[in-house]
Amino acid sequence: GAVVSQHPSWVICKSGTSVKIECRSLDFQATTMFWYRQFPKQSLMLMATSNEGSKATYEQGVEKDKFLINHASLTLSTLTVTSAHPEDSSFYICSARTSPEQFFGPGTRLTVL
Protein backbone atom coordinates (compact mmCIF):
# COMPACT_ATOMS: atom_id res chain seq x y z
CA GLY A 1 0.00 0.00 0.00
CA ALA A 2 0.87 3.66 -0.23
CA VAL A 3 3.02 5.10 2.53
CA VAL A 4 2.21 8.25 4.48
CA SER A 5 4.49 9.69 7.13
CA GLN A 6 3.79 12.18 9.89
CA HIS A 7 6.16 14.21 11.97
CA PRO A 8 6.48 14.50 14.88
CA SER A 9 4.98 11.31 16.26
CA TRP A 10 4.43 12.97 19.60
CA VAL A 11 4.82 16.45 21.03
CA ILE A 12 4.39 18.02 24.45
CA CYS A 13 4.05 21.77 24.59
CA LYS A 14 3.06 24.53 26.96
CA SER A 15 -0.32 26.21 26.76
CA GLY A 16 -0.28 29.16 24.36
CA THR A 17 2.39 27.84 22.04
CA SER A 18 1.90 26.75 18.41
CA VAL A 19 2.64 23.30 17.09
CA LYS A 20 3.20 22.29 13.48
CA ILE A 21 2.53 18.76 12.24
CA GLU A 22 3.76 17.57 8.85
CA CYS A 23 2.11 14.94 6.68
CA ARG A 24 3.92 13.50 3.68
CA SER A 25 2.94 10.99 1.03
CA LEU A 26 6.20 9.15 0.38
CA ASP A 27 5.60 7.11 -2.75
CA PHE A 28 2.70 8.82 -4.47
CA GLN A 29 1.31 12.26 -5.17
CA ALA A 30 -1.80 13.23 -3.28
CA THR A 31 -3.96 16.06 -4.54
CA THR A 32 -6.13 15.66 -1.48
CA MET A 33 -5.13 15.11 2.14
CA PHE A 34 -7.36 14.95 5.17
CA TRP A 35 -6.79 15.86 8.79
CA TYR A 36 -8.54 13.96 11.56
CA ARG A 37 -8.60 14.16 15.32
CA GLN A 38 -9.32 11.25 17.62
CA PHE A 39 -10.05 11.39 21.33
CA PRO A 40 -9.63 8.28 23.49
CA LYS A 41 -12.18 5.54 22.80
CA GLN A 42 -13.86 7.63 20.11
CA SER A 43 -13.92 7.35 16.34
CA LEU A 44 -12.05 9.56 13.94
CA MET A 45 -13.39 13.07 13.51
CA LEU A 46 -12.66 14.78 10.21
CA MET A 47 -11.32 18.27 10.77
CA ALA A 48 -10.57 19.46 7.27
CA THR A 49 -9.89 18.54 3.67
CA SER A 50 -6.67 19.89 2.22
CA ASN A 51 -6.25 20.35 -1.52
CA GLU A 52 -2.91 21.14 -3.11
CA GLY A 53 -2.63 24.79 -4.06
CA SER A 54 -5.94 25.89 -2.60
CA LYS A 55 -7.50 26.73 0.72
CA ALA A 56 -8.51 23.93 3.03
CA THR A 57 -12.15 23.11 3.58
CA TYR A 58 -13.00 22.88 7.26
CA GLU A 59 -15.73 20.80 8.82
CA GLN A 60 -18.46 22.49 10.78
CA GLY A 61 -17.32 23.49 14.23
CA VAL A 62 -13.59 23.43 13.44
CA GLU A 63 -11.94 26.81 13.90
CA LYS A 64 -9.97 27.64 10.77
CA ASP A 65 -7.94 30.33 12.54
CA LYS A 66 -6.87 27.88 15.21
CA PHE A 67 -6.06 24.95 12.96
CA LEU A 68 -4.07 26.32 10.04
CA ILE A 69 -3.63 23.97 7.12
CA ASN A 70 -1.23 24.40 4.23
CA HIS A 71 -0.94 22.01 1.31
CA ALA A 72 2.04 23.44 -0.52
CA SER A 73 2.90 20.49 -2.72
CA LEU A 74 1.47 17.21 -3.94
CA THR A 75 3.32 15.34 -1.19
CA LEU A 76 3.17 17.66 1.82
CA SER A 77 0.42 19.08 3.99
CA THR A 78 0.92 20.77 7.34
CA LEU A 79 -1.41 21.40 10.26
CA THR A 80 -0.50 24.13 12.72
CA VAL A 81 -2.34 24.22 16.01
CA THR A 82 -2.08 27.84 17.07
CA SER A 83 -2.17 28.98 20.70
CA ALA A 84 -2.69 25.42 21.86
CA HIS A 85 -4.64 24.75 25.06
CA PRO A 86 -5.06 21.57 27.11
CA GLU A 87 -8.38 20.81 25.40
CA ASP A 88 -6.48 20.54 22.10
CA SER A 89 -4.63 17.52 23.45
CA SER A 90 -5.53 14.67 21.14
CA PHE A 91 -4.31 12.21 18.53
CA TYR A 92 -4.03 13.97 15.16
CA ILE A 93 -3.97 11.78 12.08
CA CYS A 94 -3.58 12.75 8.45
CA SER A 95 -4.49 10.73 5.40
CA ALA A 96 -3.66 11.04 1.74
CA ARG A 97 -5.99 10.03 -1.04
CA THR A 98 -5.19 7.86 -4.03
CA SER A 99 -8.62 7.72 -5.48
CA PRO A 100 -10.74 6.49 -3.94
CA GLU A 101 -8.76 5.01 -1.04
CA GLN A 102 -7.22 6.94 1.83
CA PHE A 103 -3.97 5.91 3.46
CA PHE A 104 -3.30 7.14 6.96
CA GLY A 105 -0.16 8.47 8.54
CA PRO A 106 0.94 7.02 11.87
CA GLY A 107 -0.52 9.95 13.81
CA THR A 108 0.80 12.64 16.12
CA ARG A 109 -0.03 12.60 19.79
CA LEU A 110 -0.27 16.15 21.10
CA THR A 111 -0.21 16.90 24.80
CA VAL A 112 -0.68 20.50 25.89
CA LEU A 113 0.29 21.25 29.46
Partner 1 sequence: QKEVEQNSGPLSVPEGAIASLNCTYSDRGSQSFFWYRQYSGKSPELIMSIYSNGDKEDGRFTAQLNKASQYVSLLIRDSQPSDSATYLCAVTSGTYKYIFGTGTRLKVLA
User: What residues line the site for partner 1 (CB under 8 A)?
Assistant: 1, 32, 34, 42-44, 46, 49, 93, 97, 99-107
Contact assessment for residue 9 and residue 65, using Cβ atoms and an 8 Å cutoff: no
We find the least distance from the C-beta atom of residue 107 to partner 1, in angstroms, to be: 4
Scored b (16 or more CB within 10 A) or e, 1-29 reads eeebebeeeebebeeeeebebbbbbeeee
Between 9 and 17, name the residue whose CB sits nearer to partner 1: 9
Contact assessment for residue 95 and residue 103, using Cβ atoms and an 8 Å cutoff: yes
Alpha helices in the chain (DSSP H): none
CA gap 49, 44 in Å, rounded: 14
Between 82 and 102, name the residue whose CB sits nearer to partner 1: 102
Between 9 and 15, name the residue whose CB sits nearer to partner 1: 9
We find the least distance from the C-beta atom of residue 109 to partner 1, in angstroms, to be: 8
We find the least distance from the C-beta atom of residue 66 to partner 1, in angstroms, to be: 21
Between 16 and 55, name the residue whose CB sits nearer to partner 1: 55
